[in-house]
Structure 1
Amino acid sequence: MAILPSQITGVSMETFEELIKQCIQHFERQRFSTGRINMYRFLWLKKLMPYMIKESVPYYDASVGEKFLRTIVTGDIISRYQDDIIRSVNFLNEFQETGTISSHHFKPLERELSGPIGLAMEQFLLHLGALRRTQKTVSEYRRALYRLFIYLESKQIQCLQAISETHIVTFLSTSTNNKALIISSIRFFLQYLHKEHLLENDLSLVFDGYKYSRSEKLPSVYSKSEVLQIEASIQRSDATGKRNYAMMLLATRLGLRASDIAHLSFSNIDWEESTITLCQYKTGNDIKLPLLTAVGEALIDYLKYGRKNSESDKVFLFTIAPFSPMTKSSVSNMFCRIIEASKVDVRGRRHGAHAMRHSLACRFLENKESMPVISEALGHRSTETTMSYLRIDLESLNQCALHVPPVSSSFYEQKGGVFYE
């Protein structure tokens, strides 16, 4: 019997364990795996409960879980361990509030910006919206500002006037991930504060002498034999293997991005015409691809013998209860794990869905396909985007190399060779 919200609002330490017990029983009824249930039990009893005891928190509610998460996740890069903790807290909060758990995936961590500094940050984000910045861009700015907000909070900075150049420089020195985004976001925010007379000094000037260069990188590609080795390494004896193999072929044979694989619906597949037609999640452009025999057979094998019963129109589902649709991040993580386990040497190369897309482009170039054909196959808006792949066509680049004529020894010996000593 599920707990009623009125029975458990404000759970004391004594009944906190009972809440956990009831939630675990719900997991068991929903056919969650034993390993996952044990993981959640461990996180609740060995991580969350010690936090409550340390902070002398007598009752548990969603606000306690939120404060606990803020001690665990401080940046915008979330590890798998942090992912599990966020998921466990969101499950517990939902069960405490409703007596059930409706979804498998977790809600994004709320990045609450409070106090005078947080209010100024929220006003700045509204300003970005007025400038017609996209929602994605505003979210990226929020992540960057949240990192600065947490840093200032840790230094007990409560108002804008207390922020100094030293704080900004020190914050930058502690930032390692997405540094270019952090710099541009904080600079624009500080310029906004000065322009709106919220800050007397223009602290953005601290960035004038700061240079952050990002070196040009070649796309990571894998040879045909390596791609075949990766595909063959997937064990297709169970539901997870059948699903993963079908998703992998969509990337290696058709060049689909992780986001498009995750969002693939039954309506996108025309079995009679043997085509896949979809609107690309990244670009919003429509693309029509042939449903290759190997890809079609992999999809049929998964749909007949691997996919769980679900009312979802998405093709690919998680293989653990409650069997919700896959997400972009889960597809990307799956690709990384498969490629790492395939024993292909990945040193110095990225190993995700996009690497498989780059590798397919490389096969096109090896087969002397024209730029328009490659552009259409990959769903690029223009051939200019496709031109970036020319950097990995080493065979054609070698053909463009000019022959360097030999230089006689007399050239180096002229005037006694004093210029070449």
Structure 2
Amino acid sequence: MEPEKQTISELMNSCAQYFERESFSEARIGRYQTMWKTGIVRFMSERSILYYNAAVGEEYISTHIAGSIVTPLQRDFIRSVYVLSEFQAKGAVNKRRYHPLDRKLTGEIGGLMERFLLHLESLRRCRATVNGHRWYLYRFLVFIEGKHLFTVEVIREEHLLSFVSSVANTKICVVSSLRLFFGYLYDNRVIFHNPSEVLKHHRWGRKEKLPSVYTANEVLKIESSINRVDATGKRDYAMMLLATRLGLRASDIAHLSFENIIWESSTFTLSQFKTGKEIVLPLLADVGEALIDYLKYGRKRSESTRVFLYTRAPFTSMENAAVAGTLGRIVASSGVDTTGRKHGPHAMRHSLASRFLENRETIPVISEALGHRTTATTGSYLRIDLESLIQCALDVPDVTEEFYEQKGGVFYEGQV
């Protein structure tokens, strides 16, 4: 049977059977079935529509869910419809469905922005670059329309400066997009005055930042805050120990596979996701016990070769951002004061480096343990070893009166 020649009942039954195979809970399957029956099924019945397809689902959403504010219940109904469309098209359902915001560049200025973006594409700029410019120009468009400016001829230097000053982050990206856009308009004689010239010498200070670190006691408090009674807690505890005891990045935790764990020699052997460098790390006793506890009593049945899975069906392997977000939330809720400090897995990596420095480990040893490509990268961690820096400080010698009286003391007069 062709996918789009399925009745809604046939499609619902097939989708529910798929959920059962993927180990969705009965309660969750029942909730989907309830939403289908009270939502899309009723909609199709009222209009005498027999066969379901994605267009029918979109019509239901646009008819029944309108307005700029969507309630959590409405969001669930939207999800239930997208699930049917996705299953009909692919025979499977992704764990999450990401709907990028439709950043429409409207009006006269928006049309010129679209022309500029097409120009970038003709120059073979990659999609990520073009999408980045689209986002920054969209933000600028919203800003100037809020000031009732609808043509490029009325945009002045002060409008650009006001917008740039309102941007908290990514100033360099915003300035770059504005320069390129107005430069394009000027070169193509759409405008005869380039207001972005005011940004030609725009400068923004980059503050030196110290890595965020936590003391050994704080790290222990973070680890012990994890409740390990259920599958999620067992998984999170094992992931946290990989960050705190071995300094693994979130990407390496997410991509950790069974083949990376050499139980016979009690080691990890992996190629780092970020650098590609091969590293061998010891399988510490605490880390090994946490992994065994998770694998035996927490990890769901899955064909995935990766160690860490989501604990909600479908039980797919975790993504980098999910690992980072999970560990960050654990630190934030642990009771440890994170004021002025980052609290993601990278902070745990920095904290491990701090422990190495406190134990007077050499830079090459620390570099090898953290998997840095060069010792120059590891050298940046010296900034957090305050005790050693204090010991390196030289005493300032006393200045005698004779110093100020030399040559009659004329140069130093009034400066003592």
TM-score range, shorter chain: 0.7 to 0.9
Other structure's SS at 1:419 match:
coil
Distance in 2 of aligned mates of 1:327 and 1:197: 47
Any conservation in 1 of the 2:353–2:366 contact (CA below 8 Å)?
yes
Structure 1 residues 268 and 197: CA distance shift in structure 2, 3 A? farther
Distance in 1 of aligned mates of 2:154 and 2:16: 47
Any conservation in 2 of the 1:113–1:121 contact (CA below 8 Å)?
no
Distance in 2 of aligned mates of 1:32 and 1:387: 54
Any conservation in 2 of the 1:125–1:142 contact (CA below 8 Å)?
no
1:31 aligns with 2:20: no
Please identify, of 102-111 and 229-238, the stretch whose mean Cα deviation from structure 2 is larger.
Answer: 102-111
Q: 1:61 aligns with which of 37, 51, 58?
A: 58
1:106 aligns with 2:97: yes
Which residue number corresponds to residue 96 of structure 1? 85
Deviation digits for residues 287-335 of structure 1, max 9, x if unmatched? 2222222111111111110011111222111111212221222212211
Please identify, of 175-184 and 86-95, the stretch whose mean Cα deviation from structure 2 is larger.
Answer: 86-95
> CA offset at residue 33 of structure 1?
7.0
Other structure's SS at 1:348 match:
coil
Aligned residues, how many? Answer: 377
Deviation digits for residues 150-180 of structure 1, max 9, x if unmatched? 5426728888777654553343244223323
Distance in 1 of aligned mates of 2:399 and 2:343: 44
**Which residues of 2 match residues 378-417 of structure 1 at below 5 A?**
378-406=370-398
> CA offset at residue 88 of structure 1?
7.9
Per the normalisation by structure 2, the TM-score is 0.73
Any conservation in 1 of the 2:240–2:327 contact (CA below 8 Å)?
yes
Letter in 1 for 2:24: Q
Letter in 1 for 2:137: L
Any conservation in 2 of the 1:238–1:306 contact (CA below 8 Å)?
yes
Other structure's SS at 1:287 match:
strand
Any conservation in 2 of the 1:221–1:358 contact (CA below 8 Å)?
yes
> CA offset at residue 358 of structure 1?
0.4
Which residue number corresponds to residue 279 of structure 2? 287
Which residue number corresponds to residue 14 of structure 1? none
Percent identity at matched positions? 46
Deviation digits for residues 113-161 of structure 1, max 9, x if unmatched? 66442242243256363xxxxx6xx626623532322542672888877
Letter in 1 for 2:128: S
Deviation digits for residues 202-242 of structure 1, max 9, x if unmatched? 44422124321121110000111111111111111110110
Any conservation in 1 of the 2:116–2:184 contact (CA below 8 Å)?
no
Distance in 2 of aligned mates of 1:225 and 1:176: 34
Give the RMSD, CA atoms, in angstroms: 4.6
Which residue number corresponds to residue 324 of structure 2? 332
Other structure's SS at 2:268 match:
strand
Other structure's SS at 1:61 match:
helix
Q: 2:119 aligns with which of 117, 123, 126?
A: 123
Instruction: Flag structure 2 segments of 5+ consecutive residues without an equivalent.
Output: 40-54, 106-110
Distance in 2 of aligned mates of 1:406 and 1:263: 58
Deviation digits for residues 336-385 of structure 1, max 9, x if unmatched? 21112211111111111010000011111111122122112111121111
Other structure's SS at 1:384 match:
helix
Distance in 2 of aligned mates of 1:401 and 1:87: 61
Distance in 2 of aligned mates of 1:234 and 1:110: 35
Any conservation in 1 of the 2:136–2:173 contact (CA below 8 Å)?
no
Which residue number corresponds to residue 221 of structure 2? 229
Any conservation in 1 of the 2:258–2:306 contact (CA below 8 Å)?
yes
Q: 2:204 aligns with which of 212, 215, 218?
A: 212
> CA offset at residue 395 of structure 1?
1.2
Larger radius of gyration: 2
Any conservation in 2 of the 1:87–1:106 contact (CA below 8 Å)?
no
Any conservation in 1 of the 2:222–2:334 contact (CA below 8 Å)?
yes
Letter in 2 for 1:220: S
Which residue number corresponds to residue 134 of structure 2? 145
Structure 1 residues 312 and 250: CA distance shift in structure 2, 3 A? same
Letter in 2 for 1:146: W
Distance in 2 of aligned mates of 1:160 and 1:265: 54
Distance in 1 of aligned mates of 2:206 and 2:280: 35
Please identify, of 257-266 and 195-204, the stretch whose mean Cα deviation from structure 2 is larger.
Answer: 195-204
**Which residues of 2 match residues 368-387 of structure 1 at below 5 A?**
368-387=360-379
Instruction: Flag structure 1 segments of 5+ consecutive residues without an equivalent.
Output: 10-18, 46-57, 74-80, 130-134
Deviation digits for residues 35-83 of structure 1, max 9, x if unmatched? xx79xx8xxx9xxxxxxxxxxxx98628978xx999689xxxxxxx99x
Any conservation in 1 of the 2:260–2:270 contact (CA below 8 Å)?
yes
Letter in 1 for 2:325: N
Other structure's SS at 2:100 match:
coil
